Structure 1
Amino acid sequence: MVEDFKALRVRSEGPVLEVQLNSPETGNAVSGLLLDELLTVLGALQDESGVRVLILSGAGEDFCLGGDRWEFAELLAADPGGADLRNLAGKARRVCDALATANVVTIARLHGGVIGAGLALALFCDLRAGADDCRFRMPELALGMPPAWGGALPRLLNETGAARIRELLLTGDSFGAAKAAELSILHKVVAADELDDAVQRWIKPLIRRSPAALRTAKVMMNAYSGANRLADGTLFDVELMTSVLAAAESSRRR
């Protein structure tokens, strides 16, 4: 996969594709550019039959400190009706769907801050390993936003259980790697200098698995995890986020 990416660093090594969020000066904030580049990478996986595993990581001190709030404000200033922001939110939804349904095993390699949209990206990966210095937070309500980024809320509730996540979502309190493991947000917690080894221990057996069997297993798990939902409420996430932010910006301007 040869691309001139600006917000990502992508490296292929045999059956493993490493995708690194590469804007450390912004805390790897999730921007429209980053989403576009992730969609390009994930879309190309359909043609990259040799890839078995994708590792998603972040450059610098943090995995990802959340969505690019400056970009949100700029989009609303340019278009108070919210069409541009709606387009951005739609991209977020498509990226998260692509991570969940990719025909390869996706692994989130987490360190430092894993906040908001960064947590959403991690949640849609199949496996999540974190350094013991990780800190997590869902700050959306404190920022005046609904928890509607990328369809992450039902994924979070399905992975952790509603009762266990309600306090953290409503209060916006931060929590560490041990709590994240207790909530099943992290499958594995290790010292920071052991994180790469932990990821490699997952990769070794995965690349020996039948690609067809892995794809089928992912389809089955995704189907069964959503089998008890009568309707997919995340279809409204784009509209919810856009309408709330647009209303807040309109009030601020008065």
Structure 2
Amino acid sequence: MLKDFKTLQVTDTNKGAIVEVQLNRPETGNSVDGQMLSELLVLLRHLEDDPTVRVMVLSGAGDHFCQGGDRSEFPELLERDPSGSELTALGYTAQRVCSTLAQMKLVTIARLHGDVIGAGLGLAIFCDLRIGADTARFRMPEVGLGVPPAWGGVLPRLLEEAGQSRVRRFLLTADAFDAEMAERMSILDKVVPASELDAAVTHWAKKIARRDPTAMRITKTMLNARAGASQLAVGSYFDEELLTASIARRVLPRG
């Protein structure tokens, strides 16, 4: 098992059948930066190739699951490369992480608590199942920050999972919403008291890990094929370029 990461904490249980991947930058609210994306991509590909792993639980260290993308690195990337190619490359890495997460044949469960914002919501929505504490708070802040919802190609997945009307409402207003609303939108599959979150996640993970692995992988392949067709229909081909252009417009000095 790969464990030498700076931004992730990896723990395996149940004889390696269940792996918990914890976003581990609690001092930043587990904000997603380039290093975290690179490490996630390496780890996800490793887990997908490990036949002993049946379930992956994605969680966050500290008080929050994830407070979004780490915008503090954008000015540095643009200063180093004013063409925006490094920033665009970061966007492509985010898309590869999300597409890998979506297409995995093992079952993925998001354990959600505290703030689940922006890129954090993106990572969560690409998991198969999502269990949240009743105190969790969700937000899609992109429009409020002056950028399109283009991170990781998340919009098609959000539309598929949560429905166009409600996604439109919370994207355009950038308002926060609670766990009860997230469950009504199918962003959460289950809401439990914060004190029961670990027990609920463990219960589902162990139940799934006991299922026949061949049947589970074939089922995931069938589900992924359906989701892939939906993603293709909505389209997100230029997300990275759009996001780079929007960020550069706000970060670079005018004149």
**Equivalent residue, structure 1, for 2:59:** 57
Contact 2:10–2:20 under 8 Å retained in 1: yes
**Equivalent residue, structure 1, for 2:10:** 10
1:32 aligns with 2:34: yes
Q: What amino acid maps onto 1:27 in structure 2?
A: G
Contact 1:160–1:185 under 8 Å retained in 2: yes
Cα shift at 1:234: 1.6
SS of the residue aligned with 1:81? coil
Cα shift at 1:60: 0.5
1:131 aligns with 2:157: no
For residues 16-39 of structure 1, what are the alpha-carbon distances to aligned partners after superposition, in whole Å with 9 as ceiling and x for unaligned? 111000010000000001011101
Cα shift at 1:248: 2.8
Q: Distance in 2 between matches of 1:92 and 1:226?
A: 17
Contact 1:131–1:195 under 8 Å retained in 2: yes
Q: Which stretch shows the higher mean deviation, 214-223 or 60-69?
A: 214-223
Instruction: Give structure 2 stretches of 5+ with no counterpart.
Output: none
Q: TM-score, normalising length from structure 2?
A: 0.95
**Equivalent residue, structure 2, for 1:71:** 73
Cα shift at 1:215: 1.7
Q: Distance in 1 between matches of 2:47 and 2:4?
A: 17
Q: What does 1:87-106 align with in structure 2 at a 5 Å threshold?
A: 87-106=89-108
Q: Distance in 1 between matches of 2:215 and 2:128?
A: 15
Cα shift at 1:102: 1.2
Q: What amino acid maps onto 1:236 in structure 2?
A: F
Q: 1:161 aligns with which of 160, 163, 173?
A: 163
1:218 aligns with 2:208: no
Contact 2:2–2:43 under 8 Å retained in 1: no
After TM superposition, the runs of 4+ consecutive aligned structure 1 residues lying more than 6 A away are none
Q: How many residue pairs align between the two structures? A: 253
Q: Distance in 1 between matches of 2:175 and 2:47?
A: 36
Contact 2:11–2:20 under 8 Å retained in 1: yes
Cα shift at 1:232: 5.3
Q: What amino acid maps onto 1:70 in structure 2?
A: S
Q: Distance in 1 between matches of 2:73 and 2:232?
A: 35
Q: Distance in 2 between matches of 1:109 and 1:205?
A: 16
Q: Distance in 1 between matches of 2:174 and 2:231?
A: 26
Q: TM-score, normalising length from structure 1?
A: 0.95
Cα shift at 1:122: 0.2
For residues 20-69 of structure 1, what are the alpha-carbon distances to aligned partners after superposition, in whole Å with 9 as ceiling and x for unaligned? 00010000000001011101110101331100000000000000000000
Q: 2:50 aligns with which of 48, 51, 75?
A: 48
Q: Distance in 1 between matches of 2:75 and 2:36?
A: 17
1:236 aligns with 2:241: no
Cα shift at 1:228: 5.2
Cα shift at 1:84: 0.5
Q: Distance in 2 between matches of 1:104 and 1:87?
A: 27
